[in-house]
Amino acid sequence: MKELDLNELRDEINEIDSSLAQLFEKRMEIVARVAEYKIKNNMPVLNSEREAQVIKKSIESLNNKSLSKEMEEFFVDIMRISRDLQSKHIQENQKRSIVDKKTLKTRTGNKALKIGFQGINGSFSEEALFNYFGEATNTSAYKYFEDVFVAISEGIVDYGILPIENSSTGSVNEVYDLLRKYGCYINGEIVIKVKQNLLGVKGSSIDDIEEVYSHEQGFQQSAQFFRDYPNWKLIPYHNTALSAKLVSEAGDKSKAAVASDRAAAMYGLDILKENLNFNSNNYTRFVIVGKDLEIDECSDKISVVLTVKHKVGSLFDVLKLFSEKGLNLMKIESRPIMNKSWEYFFHIDFEGNLKEPKVNNIVEDIKTRTTYFKILGNYKKY
């Protein structure tokens, strides 16, 4: 039997390490491409199911099963390094997309800007748009929320304005989901008071009503009123203004709509009952959405979306930083992650300006405790 030679053994290890280094480099190149795909498709860095499959397959490929524990530890480290590299690429992509608002066209009253909104003339979205940009603004109406995001992404409009939260019924979850899907940013917000009314054709009365049309939010905000009319058929429609238009064109006294007094005037309808909403302080927050992340010295509200490890204390580790570092946490909202039962995206709003080193350092600290992190906007709070 040949006597063991340490130098020869080390030479063999050196050859293997050289091969491992080349394979590691190749793996990281592919990891970077995966990060590009996830940026494009707005996917989280962590995919626990995929990592578990890779580790299981690697262990199964071992001839010497006694090394299973060591193989698992090896790949756990590889996965961690890969996640860190993906996060680095995603963060660098976010930094490249930041635009100083001073370099952009002046927004308010600029006729050159084109703004998209969901709905038609007389909608609450159009009202919010005019309040924010001015009535001289060039506008473009779309049927669905997603249509607005497509128009922004394709450069058809400069900005979109969309409802994201109501003081009575909570968040408009579809808009949160579309922000992630299309990788757009919040660059401003405005809040308007929403007064829901029951509208009917000229000469009609409440006693004539059999069917009522409105957006689901309109029905939810007026739920207490409709309890007194259980025989009415409530029919969800695209939005409140379209509902008013539908009733106006139908000319049928048995049909009514829940919409604004502005829509009533625009479509020649009578207001049969004012202030249907059960909350007299009924407000809707609209966000101004664009393709780029815009920041200036007036920006004082930050919106982010993140995910954390699916284990005890992970979310607390993030949230406690706000208290420890003195940042005012304004809101937290969870949205389920598709194809991952009981795992969530967390949408968080807090006060701050990313141009301030202290705030930026805290945000960087938060990132280290997440498995996915994206800034959705840094803008002037209403």
pLDDT at position 230 is 93
What the chain holds in terms of domains, given with CATH numbers, is: 6-96 (1.20.59.10), 105-194+282-296 (3.40.190.10), 197-273 (3.40.190.10), 298-382 (3.30.70.260)
286 is catalytic: yes
pLDDT at position 368 is 87
pLDDT at position 103 is 45
Selection from 238, 235, 267, 266 nearest residue 251 by Cα? 267
What is the spatial distance between Cα 111 and Cα 248, in angstroms, rounded to a whole number? 31
The whole model's pTM is what? Answer: 0.71
pLDDT at position 160 is 97
355 in Cβ contact with 297 (< 8 Å): yes
Q: Which one from 137, 139, 240, 284 is the annotated catalytic residue?
A: 284
Selection from 291, 321, 4, 347 nearest residue 164 by Cα? 347
The interaxial angle of helices 48-60 and 68-96, nearest 10 deg, is 150
Angle at 278 between CA 272 and CA 283, to 5 degrees: 100
What is the enclosing helix (H) or strand (E) of 284?
strand 283-290
What is the enclosing helix (H) or strand (E) of 288?
strand 283-290
Please write the tens of the pLDDT for every residue from 69-125: 898 889 888 888 888 788 777 766 665 555 555 444 444 445 578 999 998 888 899
What is the spatial distance between Cα 10 and Cα 5, in angstroms, rounded to a whole number? 9
99 exposure class (CB count in 10 Å sphere: 0-12, 13-18, 19+): middle
pLDDT at position 376 is 94
Q: Which one from 286, 322, 346, 350 is the annotated catalytic residue?
A: 286
Please write the tens of the pLDDT for every residue from 18-57: 999 999 999 999 988 888 887 777 676 767 778 888 888 8
The half-sphere exposure of 128 on its side-chain side, counting CA atoms within 13 A, is 27
> Which two tokens mark 31?
């990891």
Can you say how many angstroms the Cα of residue 357 is from the centroid of all Cα atoms in its chain?
A: 25
284 is catalytic: yes
What is the spatial distance between Cα 35 and Cα 343, in angstroms, rounded to a whole number? 21
Residues of the chain with pLDDT under 70: 1-2, 42, 44, 46, 91-111
